[in-house]
């Protein structure tokens, strides 16, 4: 299986996870039907795409990339779209997450099986 294709599918999974989490914020505890349906649909696509990547990427590696980049991206969405603030420790922690994803992808031999 083409590694670039798998990473493209993983990126799609990450994007839909971030969209789903953003919709969750807008759903206001499932009291708004539209955002709730968007959230469910986005998570369905995200998990489908994530499961597709597990054909060749070990589950721990795929999930680390998916969740790590999802955390960073949803934090950016929170700042930009929802007016949330990040303090210095939060920014440093997000930097460490990004560093971890880079280390996994650049140095690990575990990314494909």
In the chain, what percentage of residues exceed pLDDT 90?
82
The answer to whether residue 96 sits within a structural domain is yes
Read off the DSSP letter of residue 109.
S
Residue 40 lies in domain: 3-107
Distance (Å, rounded) from C-alpha 95 to C-alpha 13? Answer: 21
The answer to whether residue 94 sits within a structural domain is yes
The answer to whether residue 40 sits within a structural domain is yes
The answer to whether residue 41 sits within a structural domain is yes
The answer to whether residue 98 sits within a structural domain is yes
Distance (Å, rounded) from C-alpha 113 to C-alpha 69? Answer: 22
The answer to whether residue 112 sits within a structural domain is no
Residue 20, phi-psi category: left (phi > 0), alpha (psi -120 to 50), beta (remainder): alpha
* pLDDT value for 108: 87
- Tell me how many domains the chain contains: 1
The answer to whether residue 113 sits within a structural domain is no
pLDDT digits (tens, 9 = 90+) for 20-44: 999 999 999 999 999 999 999 999 9
The answer to whether residue 49 sits within a structural domain is yes
């Amino acid at each position: 299986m083409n590694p670039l294709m798998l990473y493209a599918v993983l990126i799609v999974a990450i994007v839909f996870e971030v969209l789903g989490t953003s919709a969750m914020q807008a759903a206001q505890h499932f009291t708004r039907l539209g955002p709730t349906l968007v959230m469910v649909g986005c998570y369905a696509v995200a998990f489908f795409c994530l499961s597709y990547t597990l054909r060749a990427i070990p589950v721990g590696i795929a999930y680390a990339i998916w969740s790590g980049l999802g955390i960073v991206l949803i934090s950016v969405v929170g700042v930009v779209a929802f007016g949330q603030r990040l303090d210095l420790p939060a920014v440093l922690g997000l930097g460490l997450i990004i560093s971890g994803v880079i280390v996994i992808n650049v140095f690990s031999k575990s990314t494909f099986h």
